[in-house]
Chain A
Amino acid sequence: MRRFFTWFNNIKIRYKSKRFIVPFIFILGFVFFPKDVFALDIHFYTSDYVVINSCYDCTSLSAPGVARVRFTYPTQLFQNLEYRFQFDTQFHYYNTTQLPTTHIGLFGANIEQNLGEYIWKGTIKEFPPNGGVLRGYSFDATWTQTTNGNNVFTEIYFDNHESYDLFSVVVDNYSLITTGDSTSDVIAGIGQQIIDNQNKNQQQTNEKLDKIDASINNDDTSSAEEKANGFFDNFKLEDNGGISSVVTMPLRIIEGLVSGSSSCQNLSFSVFDKDVYFPSGCILWGSAPDSIVVIYQTLICGLFGYILLIRLFKDIEALKNPNDSGVSTLDL
């Protein structure tokens, strides 16, 4: 990390708009990791700080080469949040010649884990604007982080080891960045997600139950006959000849009678190389008056129908007899 900061500080940015680096990095993150970028909920907090000890001419101070800055944050900002401190710090010569800005930060999962003292060693280099000798300065940045329950105090000591090659410190940008949601928000989000999934599953179950209920209560049988006929559509009924043709011929005749497909078929066959043609009865009955057809069918069907019903009742009576175990057969 320190190498990164060093490398970062050594970059000569000729453009004045150094602040464009952060949006540029964000755009890169959006391009490569869009989901992660939008999942990161960043909160910025700023706080006043107090420069306890700083100097432009530190030779006059009792502790030369030391600058101290203290930040104060409310403790509640740290609860259940990941956070990091971020500072852009300017160092100055005692003669106010400005040195490059250096960037330092402190990262932590929560405030309890970062109480104490931390030392961050850094190096800054001077880039004289009008040329000259490149000079580097090493220093230690010591973080002391304490809390009194209500507030968190962060003090930073910048020490150049009393080299009297003095500097002062000005903290330009300072912020406390918390990332992510609080634990309670995360739990609430997960709970809401579970509830949403449960509601979605319940809605799908209700829709299926509604369909079943509608199917049970639907007494419309208009399509039942069509479906019943469609069930047998794929059966192969062609006459293949041979034994199967002999066996199935009576069934074919009966099926033709039931379906009505052979009710008006003419009978034609050849006898001694001559075609014999017998027209069906539909020629006669089709031209007869409807009243005569109805009277005729009533008489003929009434007679045969009565005989069949009598036999049907006798057969049912025979079935009800427990001592009758006879089985009717059709003698072909």
Chain B
Amino acid sequence: MINSILSGIFNLIISLVNLLLTPIDAIINQFIPSLSEVINVVGNFFTYVLGFIPWICSWINFPQWFITFTIGYFTFKLTVPLAIHTVKVALAWYDKVKP
């Protein structure tokens, strides 16, 4: 269940990023094609480099539940404090604005 939720969240974020950046990529490709080629090279570099991560994980032989737990931990660490901090900021603004 946690595995499905995490996978769905990442799919959602990837879709949204694609949706937002596709027009920008199209503009760059149309008017600055050389810059577009540089960006593609950078993307291929990341593909090569990051492609080693699952390969290394396969050799270390981490079980799937441990990978999910690790990624879930970092997701929790990077999202929940941000959400709580946002609520705290909103409450602080409300206290200042409150008559």
Residue numbers of A with Cβ under 8 A of B are: 224-225, 228-229, 231-232, 235-238, 240-260, 262-267, 269, 278, 280-282, 284-285, 293, 296-297, 300-301, 304-305, 308, 311-312, 315, 318-319, 325-330
Query: DSSP class of B's interface residues: helix, strand, loop or mixed?
Result: helix
Among B1, B24, B68, B80, which residue has its beta carbon within 8 angstroms of that of A225? Answer: B1
> Nearest-CB distance from A18 to chain B (Å)?
85
Does B7 lie within 8 Å of A242, measured CB to CB? no
Q: Give the docked Cα–Cα distance between A258 and B24 (Å).
A: 29
Does A301 lie within 8 Å of B7, measured CB to CB? no
> Nearest-CB distance from B81 to chain A (Å)?
5
Contact of A251 with B46 at beta-carbon distance under 8 Å, contacts A235-B15, A284-B59, A325-B85 already known: no
Among B15, B42, B64, B77, which residue has its beta carbon within 8 angstroms of that of A260? Answer: B64
Contact of A232 with B11 at beta-carbon distance under 8 Å, contacts A245-B43, A300-B60, A328-B77 already known: yes
Does A246 lie within 8 Å of B10, measured CB to CB? no
Does A241 lie within 8 Å of B40, measured CB to CB? yes
> Nearest-CB distance from A146 to chain B (Å)?
90
Does A246 lie within 8 Å of B43, measured CB to CB? yes
Does A247 lie within 8 Å of B17, measured CB to CB? yes
Residues from chain B with a CB closer than 8 A to the CB of A259 are 3, 7
Contact of A258 with B71 at beta-carbon distance under 8 Å, contacts A232-B8, A243-B28, A327-B82 already known: yes
Per-residue interface assignment for chain B, residues 28 to 47, with 1 indicating a CB less than 8 Å from any chain A CB and 0 otherwise = 11000000100110110011
> Nearest-CB distance from B86 to chain A (Å)?
9
Among B1, B25, B52, B74, which residue has its beta carbon within 8 angstroms of that of A244? Answer: B25
The 8 A-B residue pairs with the shortest CB-CB distance, nearest first, are: A242-B25, A281-B59, A244-B21, A281-B58, A262-B54, A255-B10, A235-B15, A245-B43
Does A267 lie within 8 Å of B78, measured CB to CB? no
Q: Give the docked Cα–Cα distance between A254 and B50 (Å).
A: 10
> Nearest-CB distance from B90 to chain A (Å)?
12
Residues from chain A with a CB closer than 8 A to the CB of B29 are 242
Does B10 lie within 8 Å of A258, measured CB to CB? yes
Does A328 lie within 8 Å of B3, measured CB to CB? no
- Cβ-closest chain A residue relative to B4: A228
For residue B94, CB closer than 8 A to chain A, the reply is no
Could you give 25 example pairs across A and B, Cβ below 8 Å? A228-B8, A229-B8, A235-B11, A235-B14, A237-B15, A243-B21, A243-B28, A244-B25, A245-B40, A249-B50, A250-B46, A253-B54, A255-B11, A281-B55, A281-B57, A297-B61, A297-B63, A304-B66, A308-B70, A308-B73, A319-B84, A325-B85, A325-B88, A327-B81, A328-B81
